[in-house]
Amino acid sequence: MSQTFKKYEHLCHKKVIESLFDRSNVKNKSFSVYPIRVIYNSYKSEGNDKLEFPQVLFSVSKRSFKRAVDRNLIKRRLRESYRLNKSSLKGLRLNVVFLFTSREILPYDKIEGSMKVILQRLSENDGQLV
């Protein structure tokens, strides 16, 4: 299985992103595994066969990390840990946002451990969505 992170797996649509961050949206679900908070919802297939994995977005707060190089480092670590462990989510129709909540830069192995737990929880909850 290819372990790539293609452009069509990136969550880019402004309306979808706004609906994920909308606290009044009942369809959104969220949970946290330190240092990552996850917000997700499901969507119905619209005939797009390319989408075999969920569409995801990675976010690091500018308030917590003033320097762009620090935010980019954390996002690279988040993306890499997702890319290597995403195989359990194959076939799920989800929009997912990963928010980094720690106020310090953590090593890659801590981020990857949290990402594995998150992806396991998301794959277990797929039957309770929609």
What letter does residue 130 receive in the DSSP assignment? -
Q: Are 50 and 36 in contact (CB under 8 A)?
A: no
pLDDT at residue 128 in the model: 59
Q: Are 117 and 37 in contact (CB under 8 A)?
A: no
Per-residue model confidence as pLDDT tens digits over 23-50: 898 889 999 999 999 999 988 766 555 6
Please choose, from the candidates 81, 84, 88, 96, the residue with its C-alpha nearest in 3D space to the C-alpha of residue 120.
Answer: 88
Burial class (CB in 10 A: 0-12, 13-18, 19+), 105: middle
pLDDT at residue 91 in the model: 87
For the entire predicted model, the pTM comes to 0.91
- The pLDDT of 14-18, averaged and rounded, is 95
Structure tokens at 50: 């390319």
pLDDT at residue 41 in the model: 93
Per-residue model confidence as pLDDT tens digits over 63-114: 999 999 999 999 999 999 999 999 999 989 999 999 999 999 999 999 999 9
The CATH class of the 7-128 domain is alpha beta
Q: How far apart are CA 10 and CA 45, in angstroms?
A: 16
- The pLDDT of 53-66, averaged and rounded, is 96
